[in-house]
Structure 1
């Protein structure tokens, strides 16, 4: 699987209820060293209930300008949350017979929603 397989995928709870779309991925560099940096690991998915568009970097808590764009994107993405990768039950391939069409991410029962805001 590559990152673009997950971006813009529809996200469903275990019971089939739609909760949004994957708008970003969160990676961490905490693995073994691969050259100069640690190898990246997928930490979780950022899910937006209202839009399929990216935050364009405005998910950072200290970004306040340009004035009309920052508040507009925050409002547009209200309710966005982070789901840790272990809470993802299944990521079917787009050609999966059970889920024809675009890729769908299915979350585990009892998954937790975390704040998607990036803080310094």
Structure 2
């Protein structure tokens, strides 16, 4: 089940994805991944399995479908997360909404 995202008394949606960056590679092992943010879907609880991340490798119909499905989703920096408690994520006041689409 997706965690609900709130800021104060305002319900913003649910966590539908997480964004990581990969920092360098250690020879003989996997690179270190660092959590940098959460993608919040105001209307949907389900992820689209990463299909919203890159448009150039899919047919136009899939781009349209996944773009419409997640058009109101946004990315929140991990630094803007005040707490994760039970089934809810609380954001700090004044958090920034970033585009969730990767180019």
CA distance in 1, matches of 2:51, 2:34: 23
Distance of aligned partners of 1:117 and 1:63 in 2 relative to their CA distance in 1, 3 Å threshold? farther
TM value normalised by structure 1: 0.74
Root-mean-square deviation (CA, aligned residues, Å) is: 2.2
Q: Tell me: CA distance 1:34–1:84, structure 2 relative to 1, closer, same or farther (3 Å).
A: farther
Q: Does residue 110 in structure 1 map to residue 94 in structure 2? A: yes
Q: Distance in 2 between matches of 1:90 and 1:43?
A: 15
Could you list the runs of 5+ residues in structure 2 that have no partner in the other structure?
A: none
Matches of 1:105 and 1:41, distance apart in 2: 18
Aligned match of 2:5 in 6, 11, 27?
11
Aligned pairs, number: 102
Q: Distance in 2 between matches of 1:109 and 1:36?
A: 39
Find the residue that maps to 2:15 and give its secondary structure. Answer: strand
Hey, what's the Cα distance between the residues in 2 that align with 1:74 and 1:63? Answer: 14
